[in-house]
Structures are given as C-alpha cells and as structure tokens.
A and B are shown apart, each in its own frame.
Chain A
Amino acid sequence: MLDEAGFVIQSERMQSDWAAENLQVIRTLMERSALYRRALAPIMLTVGVIGSLAGFAAFYLESRSVPTFIVFWLVTGGVALGTSFLLVRRQSMREGEPFWSPPTRRVALALAPPLVVGFLLAVLVLVSSFAERGWPFEPKALPGLWMILYGCAICSAGFFMARGIRFLGLLFSLCGLLSISLGSLDLDFPTLLVANICMAATFGGLHVAYGVYLYFTEKKKIAA
C-alpha cells in the first residue's frame, strides 16, 4: 500500500538526494583539506600592477648600477609579497576561515625554497659588488635566474592549487631561459634597460594577463 502511494519512490529519491549532498560535502571538505582555495585573481592582478608600475618607475629613474637594480627589484618583490599576504588574510577573515590553514602552509612551504635561493643569489651579487670583488656570475643573468626560480616556485605550489597555475610557472621559467639565452648573445643593448623591461614584462605583464584570465574563469567555477 505504501508502495502504491509512492512512499518508496519518494524515500528512494530522498536517499539519492541525501547521498549526492553527502558526496558534495565530502568533496568540499577534501578540497578544503588538500587544495589552496583563496581567489587568486585579485592577488595576481595586484602583483602584476605592482610589477608593471615598478617597471615604469625603473625606466624613468634610469637605474644605472647593478646594486641599484637588485635593491629596487628586491624591494618591489617584498612589497608584492606583503600585499599578497594582506589580501589572503583579508579573504580568509571574510570567509571566517583560519588564515594559516594546512593548504596555505603547504603553498608557503612549496614557494619558499626557490624564492629564498633567488634572494640569496641577489645578496651574493650585492656582497660581491660592495666588496669590489669579481662577480660570482654574470649579473645580467640574474633577471633570468629570478624568473626560472619564481617559475619553479609556482610549479611546486601548483601541486596544492588549481592546476592552471603550473602553466604560469612554466611560462616564467621559459621566459627566464629565453632571457639568459638572449643575454649570452651580447646584443648591443643597454643591459640594465633590457633587464628592467624583462622584469616589467614578466613580473608585471604575465601576472596581469593571468589575473585577467582568472578574473573571468574563477567566477564561473564558483557559480558552477
């Protein structure tokens, strides 16, 4: 009788809905545990704008020495890192989630080694410059090395983030390789000018381009 009244069918549907909802909750929890889920578009756009502005500033200020170039871009990197930190913190506070969550920790740990190596390479060149010794390596290779290391950092962090970001890391590393290859050709360019343009194009341009791409795709993903 209950069967005829559709009771069983109704309860089957309820069970199925419940099962589908449970699967969705499980998926969300697993992603929360494993993947870094903060919106990256605002971070990428902000870092890109900072990189581009720094590129214009370097162009107009006409930094003429290697130490000035290094300090200028290290400060820019520090500002970009600090701003990203604040943006991530604001997002996590808005969503009522802990800032230093396991995925954030994993992303930070994956980013750290290549970024620290890039920083130490810059310090090495700076120290050699102030001690008036020979360069440990050609300083014009530094922007390329920074790009390669930054690309490696993003690729490593990409294992704990949305998959697309690893492509950005690969692009950075390829740009770094290209920059080093062009540097070895001894082209007749004012080297620091080219280096500043390379830095603005990659740390500014690539970030802005990826940020714009994410701005349109991330919203769709959330809506889906």
Chain B
Amino acid sequence: MNPETFLQLDRVIHEKGRLGIMSLLAASPDVAFTDLRDALGMTDGNLTTHIRTLQEAGYLSVAKSFQNNRPLTTCSLTAQGKKAFADYINLLEQIVQQNRGNK
C-alpha cells in the first residue's frame, strides 16, 4: 500500500468528534447545535471546540437565528467543507481498495 495515501488524510476531519460532525452535516443542508450534540453524545463545550476548529479551517459555517423567540444555532458545511469531506471519503475508499488488491 502506498503510505502517501494515508498521509494525505485531512488531519482536521480525521479526529473522531469532528468526523462525526462532518458526517452528520454532509447528509443534511443544516443541523441545529442541539441536534448535533444529542446525535453525537457530546457536551456543549466539546462540540463548541470542534465546531470552532472546523470553522477556522473554513469547512463549516454557523448561523444564529430565533425560533419561537428562542435562539437557534445551526451549522452547515461550506463548499470547501463538502469538498474536503468528499476527498477524505475517497482517500478512505482508496486505502480499503488498495488493501483488497494486496490480499
């Protein structure tokens, strides 16, 4: 197997928590902060930290609005985030395929 493939994996997405956030957001146009927290079983602080990291990488955008007079924070993937996630999946598939070829 080409070790280069493994080294190309995006370190920002590669972390377990952030990968979970990216996966959930990749399947929906936007997801509320509370829904992300409940789905991933994270604490508010932990989720906020990961969201900030993804935001700084330009992969995720956060929108704040009001629903029924209550603040609502929603997250969505940016175009850059969608591309980075697609590249990450492609690389994982390559790793699996390469190993199948070696067997």
Interface residues of chain A, those whose CB is within 8 Å of chain B, are 12-13, 15-16, 19-20, 22-23, 25-26, 29-34, 97-98, 101-102
Q: Mark B9-45, 1 if CB is under 8 A from A, else 0.
A: 0000000000110011111100110010011000000
Q: Which of B31, B38, B39, B93 contacts A23 (CB 8 A)?
A: B93
B99 within 8 A of A: yes
Known: A15-B1, A25-B23, A102-B28. A32 touches B39 (CB 8 A): yes
Q: How far is the CB of B94 from chain A (nearest CB, A)?
A: 9
- Compute how far the CA of A31 lies from the CA of B28 in the bound complex, rounded to whole angstroms: 10
Instruction: State whether B102 touches A34 (Cβ < 8 A).
Output: no
A16 touches B95 (CB 8 A): yes
Chain A residues near B100 (CB-CB < 8 A): 16
Chain B contact residue count (CB 8 A cutoff) = 24
- Flag if A33 contacts B24 (CB, 8 Å): yes
B38 to chain A, nearest CB (A): 5
B96 and A20 contact, CB distance less than 8 A: yes
Q: Interface majority SS on B: helix, strand, loop or mixed?
A: helix
Question: For the complex, what is the distance from the CA of A33 to the CA of B25, rounded to whole Å?
Answer: 8
> A23 near B99 (CB under 8 angstroms)?
no
Are the CB atoms of B31 and A33 closer together than 8 Å?
A: yes
- CB < 8 Å A-B pair total: 66
Question: Are B23's CB and A29's CB within 8 A?
Answer: yes
A103, closest chain B residue (CB)? B28
A22 touches B24 (CB 8 A): no
Which chain B positions have C-beta within 8 A of A29? 20, 23-24, 27, 39
Whether A15 and B27, one on each chain, are in contact in the complex, defined by CB atoms closer than 8 angstroms, is: no
Query: Shortest Cβ distance from B73 into chain A, in angstroms?
Result: 14
Chain B residues close to A by CB (< 8 Å)? 1, 6, 19-20, 23-28, 31-32, 35, 38-39, 89, 92-93, 95-96, 98-100, 102
Complex: chain B residue closest to A26, CB-CB: B23
Could you list 10 A-B pairs, sorted by A, with CB under 8 Å?
Answer: A12-B102, A13-B99, A16-B98, A19-B93, A25-B23, A30-B27, A33-B26, A33-B31, A102-B28, A102-B31
Q: Is the CB of B102 within 8 A of A22?
A: no
Supply 6 further A-B pairs (C-beta < 8 A) apart from A26-B92, A30-B26: A15-B99, A16-B96, A19-B92, A29-B27, A33-B24, A102-B31
In the bound complex, do residue B27 and residue A31 qualify as a contact, i.e. CB atoms below 8 Å apart?
Answer: yes
Identify B38's interface contact among A20, A22, A30, A98, CB under 8 A.
A98
CA distance A34 to B24 in the complex (A): 8
B26 engages A22 (CB within 8 Å): no
- Contact between A101 and B28, CB atoms less than 8 A apart: no
Evaluate contact between B99 and A30: CB separation under 8 angstroms. Answer: no
| Distance between Cα atoms of A33 and B27 in the complex (Å) | 6
In whole angstroms, what is the CA distance A159 to B23 when docked?
19
